[in-house]
Amino acid sequence: MPGIDDGSPDLEHSLSLARAAVDEGITHILATPHHLDGVFVNHADDVVKATAAFQKQLKKNNLPLQVFPGQEIHLSGELPELYADLLGTDERKGFLMIELPCDSVPMYTKRLFFELRKLGTTPVIVHPERNAAIQKEPNILYDFIANGFYAQLTASSLVGLFGEKIEKISRDFIEHGLVQIVASDAHDLEKRQFVLREALVLIRDSYGSAALERFEQSAENLLNGTGPLLSEISEIRPKKRFFFF
């Protein structure tokens, strides 16, 4: 949506992004502008209004794309108190898209997630592969998934646009069942464009059609307020090194 955070600066750019999404075969998008990240504050009512206005522009331009209002909510201990101003992936707020700090996983995170669950919502950790603490100790993510929370991988991470290290850990997360959704996270037409189709083809070719169908169904489930599909999860163990003398 135009001019709402670090994504599209104006309507023309947003419509170009929408055309790119349609070209990728995308029919539904959950718009998740940043909220409470120290730079952007996008209140729920404002996002709902902006989404409705943009949907009218899509219809006016004959673009077959349905956009739903959401937020990418930065982790904060105050989220339970701010709950009324948070948007989930569906109207019942069954799932919240939560962004961790880029370099850490605060000690209070799991406790906070359980508090949010008591309020009727389940956190989904977005782009965990880009979190420095999780990169160093991937089984931090395993612990969250084992406790019934979810994680969303960014397509551009999987196809290598953030470098080999993040590409590898993205593959590790898929192989160990630690991510349930793949998102476009498209911001613009230059550096953060749509590569969702490329990522889904990679998943199909590397992990099979069943894995592809699971990721696609999980994304649909989130919009409908039902849980993502799970595969068997396992811890990521360091590979043994052999030394020869």
Parallel, antiparallel, or unpaired: how do β-strands 150-154 and 122-126 relate? parallel
% of the chain at pLDDT higher than 90: 78
pLDDT of residue 225: 92
pLDDT of residue 24: 84
pLDDT reading at 189 higher than 70: no
Q: How far apart are the first and last CA of the chain?
A: 60
Residue listed under structure tokens 């960014």? 154
β-sheet bridge partners, residue 74? 99
**Cβ atoms 71, 79 nearer than 8 A:** no
pLDDT of residue 188: 52
What are the pLDDT digits (tens) for 41-51? Answer: 999 999 999 99
| Number of separate helices (H) and strands (E) present in the chain | 9, 8
Domain ranges (residues) in the chain: 35-44+70-224
pLDDT of residue 192: 55
pLDDT of residue 190: 63
CA proximity to 30, closest of 66, 64, 54, 59: 66
CA proximity to 87, closest of 67, 109, 72, 108: 72
What are the pLDDT digits (tens) for 84-126? Answer: 999 999 999 999 999 999 999 999 999 999 999 999 999 999 9
Distance, CA of 217 to CA of 203 (rounded, Å): 14
> If you average pLDDT over residues 170-182, what whole number do you get?
97
pLDDT of residue 245: 52
pLDDT reading at 240 higher than 60: no
> If you average pLDDT over residues 169-187, what whole number do you get?
91
Parallel, antiparallel, or unpaired: how do β-strands 66-69 and 28-31 relate? parallel
Work out the pLDDT band at 208, boundaries 50, 70, 90. very high
pLDDT of residue 237: 86
Q: Please state, rounded to an integer, the average pLDDT across all residues of the chain.
A: 92
Specify the CATH number of the domain 35-44+70-224.
3.20.20.140
